[in-house]
Structure 1
Amino acid sequence: MVKKSNKLLYVVIIPTLVIFFLLHTMPLLQGLFYSFTDFGGFGDWEFVGLNNYIEGFQDSRIIHSYFFTIGFSIVSTILVNIIGLLIALGINSNIKFSNTIRGIYFIPYMLGTLIIAYVFSFLFSQLVSSIGEALGIEFLQYNILGNQNLAWVGVVIVTVWQAAAFNTILYLSGLVTIDDSLYEAAEIDGASSFEKFRHITVPMIIPFFTINLVVSMKNFLMAFDQVVALTEGGPGTATESVSFLIYQGAFAEGQFAYQSANAIVFFIIIVLISFFQFKVLEGRER
């Protein structure tokens, strides 16, 4: 048994750790190193200390991208969890076709985000405007992705539409763990549907709330593909997420070191937000 364990360690665990270090830890350490320099992505460089971090906190473009990203993430997280839970409750109540419906609802999550975003970009610019003109609805006649005040709505719609599938599956996993005898006992006591949901369903699936909220928030904070395909950060910088700004600044505008500092700060913020969510939600589970 000991020899088998050692073989498993060498064959599986160690190569995995090496790959993780090369593809994850090493780039993170390199980014941290370059964040203290004036490296532009090529050529010579010099150490500049904390200048990149100081300038970043004073950069209105970076500050705006954080406000957009955090606001977008909060709205999307709330919507995707409400929709995911409602769909899960609906599927769970329809036992006869539950497996088929689960497969159908999971299809959007299997598709590439870029593909979905490009399809929705066409829908917003062509189909929706045509419907608006045909029905005489002025609001629908314009592409919201070209509106500086409404473009974020289009990004939220696409993001929530795709992400709801993952949340739905997790909530379904939680719902099937609830013993039916609890609902039967509640019915005998005269509990209404809302009371059963509030006092049985919600307390029993709180761990799944925790997973969904933390994972959703983390994924939405790192929004990139949908921004690239739908708006490219526009109009102007209205929908410029932090991830998109880091990519754009580092590889298109020669701000490799500057955006490396931004990436380090962003990484710390994501960790802190996730940790805060875990601490708050773990308290609710007890």
Structure 2
Amino acid sequence: MNKRLTAFYWMTVPAVILFFVFMTLPALQGIYYSFTNWNGFGKNYDFVGIKNYINLFKDNNVGNAYWFTFKLAIVVTLLTNVLSLIIALGLNAKIKFRNFFRGIYFLPNILSVLIVGYIFNYLFSNVFTIWGQKLGIDSLSTNILGSEGLAWIGVAIVMIWQSIALNTILYLAGLQTIPTSLYEASNLDGASRWREFWSITFPLIAPFFTINMVLAMKNSLMVFDQIVALTNGGPGRATQSISHLIYTGGFQGGEFAYQSANSVIYFIVIAVISILQLKFLQKREVDM
């Protein structure tokens, strides 16, 4: 037994060291630099205390980035879970080529986010506009990614399309855990499909709903690749997410310390939202 435990420890130590070197240490360095005025170049910098954190709450660009990110995350999280649950219910039914359709719906999850983004960028700017002009549909005749008021919808469409894949698979896994005897009993009682869903299906897949909601919200709040591929934060700053602002400001705008402070706040916000989601949704599981 001791030899087995020793082997386990030796297998764990390299992973811990790698995690500390490439994840924990850079995070600690970022926290350290957030209290300085370092621009990311050279070795000269001064400590400024919490000045960077105070200035963040006065920065309109930061406020707009947080507003855009929260708005996008809420819409994507809700629509992703609603659509993926509907698709999972359909794929769980006894239909022909069920396994084939499951594979098709999971395909977007294995594709590169950047590649998908560039493909949709081309579709929005070339293909859909041509279709709209030929069909006489004004809303499709112009590239929505070039509109300050509509560009976020294009980003949301791409995010939802790619996020549905994993959520659908998780919901399918949850549906497989429900005993068929419960549905047989409800049929004998004359329960409608809608009643079955709210009284049997949804309560029993509540843990899967919880993890899907948390993952979808976290991934949406951390949106970056889709922004780079579709709009690069434009038009203007209309679709600049928090991650994109931190990257462009920290590595291209000479605001390394300032954006390090932003990233600390960003991490705290995501952690708090995820914890609150877990507590609320897990409490709901117990109540159901």
TM range (shorter): over 0.9
Structure 2 CA distance, aligned partners of 1:101 and 1:186? 28
Alignment match, 2:195? 195
Please tell me the residue identity of whatever aligns with 1:237: R
Q: Secondary structure at the match of 1:186?
A: helix
Match of 2:234, SS state, is coil
Which residue matches 2:168? 168
Deviation of residue 78 (structure 1)?
0.2
Which residue in 1 is equivalent to 2:276? 276
* Aligned equivalent of 2:213: 213
Q: Does structure 1 residue 32 correspond to structure 2 residue 36?
A: no
Q: Kindly provide the amino acid, as one letter, of the partner of residue 234 in structure 1.
A: G
Cα separation, 2, equivalents of 1:101 and 1:94: 12
2:101 is the alignment partner of 1:101: yes
**Most deviating of 98-107 and 221-230:** 98-107
> What residue in structure 1 maps to residue 16 of structure 2?
17
1:220-273 per-residue CA deviation (whole Å, 9 max, x = no partner) reads: 000000000000000000000000000000011000000000000000000000
Amino acid in structure 2 at the alignment position of 1:25: T
1: CA distance, partners of 2:88 / 2:237: 36
Q: Moved runs in structure 1, 4+ residues, more than 6 A?
A: none
| 2:150 paired with 1:150 | yes
Shift, 1:102, TM fit: 1.4
In structure 2, distance between residues paired with 1:24 and 1:282: 29
AA aligned to 2:129 is S
* In structure 1, C-alpha distance between the alignment counterparts of 2:139 and 2:250, rounded to whole Å: 37
Secondary structure of the corresponding residue to residue 63 of structure 1 = helix
Q: CA deviation at 1:5?
A: 1.4
SS at match of 2:40: coil
Specify the alignment match of 2:231 in structure 1. 231
Note the C-alpha offset of 1:97: 2.7
The alpha-carbon deviation at position 95 of structure 1 amounts to 5.3
The match for 1:67 is: 67
Match of 2:113 in 1: 113
Q: SS in structure 1 opposite 2:45?
A: coil
Distance 2:161 2:270 in 1: 23
Aligned partner of residue 35 in structure 2, secondary structure = coil
Match of 1:2?
Answer: 2
Shift of 1:107: 0.6
In the other structure, the counterpart of 1:181 is: 181
Moved more, 151-160 or 89-98: 89-98
SS at match of 2:38: coil
Deviation at 1:139, TM superposition (A): 1.5
- Structure 1: which 5+ residue stretches go unaligned? none
Deviations 1:74-104 (A, max 9, x none): 0000000011101100000035533222111
Q: Provide the residue aligned with 2:257 in structure 1.
A: 257
Deviations 1:130-180 (A, max 9, x none): 011101111111000000000000000000000100000000000000000
- Partner Cα separation in structure 2 for residue 145 and residue 74 of structure 1: 20
* Distance in 1 of aligned mates of 2:276 and 2:256: 30
Aligned pair count reads 285
- AA in 2 matched with 1:123: L
Whichever residue aligns with residue 108 of structure 2, its letter is P
Q: In structure 2, what is the equivalent of residue 80 of structure 1?
A: 80
Distance 1:14 1:261 in 2: 31
* Cα distance between partner residues in 2 of 1:94 and 1:46: 67
> CA-to-partner distance for each residue in 1:3-45, whole Å, 9 max, x for gaps?
12111211x1111111111111111100000000000001211
